[in-house]
Amino acid sequence: MINRMHIFTALFVLSALISLVQLTGRTIQQQTQRPAMPLHSLTEQFMGLEKAFAHAARAGYYTDKNMEHPLAIAQFEQAQYVLAPTVLELNNTSLPLIIFDCTSPAAALAKIKELKLIPVSANNTGIILAVNPRVNKP
């Protein structure tokens, strides 16, 4: 005959197993829905631009990315960190120097052309630096 302690233990173990299966399912679902982080460091995208910004107090940072997305926010913050003390102004294209960090190099170049800016450099991560010929040098 099964006593109450055995029933209680069996129910406890069953409850723990159900909770473990549910937790595993939620974890797998969360991991598969996470956006993939790029293999390269976010900071490396902006390395090499320091010389161009050496004497600029302010510069523009144009992006067509969703700035509510954590990765887009992190990219902007990393650019600000690398280029400090230059202050980057988000989506301000009226400054002498503007960084274009768009969803594609083609999108960045199209915007540069539309704004009648001059692209001066690009790197292998799609970051393009442009100058505004209608504004005094930095």
> 68 by DSSP, 3-state: which?
coil
Quick: pLDDT tens for 2-32. Answer: 687 778 888 888 888 888 888 888 777 776 6
Strands 97-100 and 128-131: antiparallel
Quick: pLDDT tens for 69-87. Answer: 988 898 899 899 889 999 9
**pLDDT computed for residue 98 by the predictor:** 95
CB 62 within 8 A of CB 98: yes
Quick: pLDDT tens for 86-115. Answer: 999 999 999 999 999 998 889 999 999 999
Residue 125 has pLDDT above 80, yes or no: no
Q: Which of 14-18, 57-61, 65-69 has the weakest average pLDDT?
A: 14-18
> 126 by DSSP, 3-state: which?
coil
Residue 39 has pLDDT above 50, yes or no: no
H-helix or E-strand spanning residue 111: helix 105-114
Tokens at residue 124, please? 């292998």
41: left (phi over 0), alpha (psi -120 to 50) or beta: beta
**pLDDT computed for residue 99 by the predictor:** 93
- Within the chain, strands assigned E span 58-62, 87-90, 97-100, 118-122, 128-131
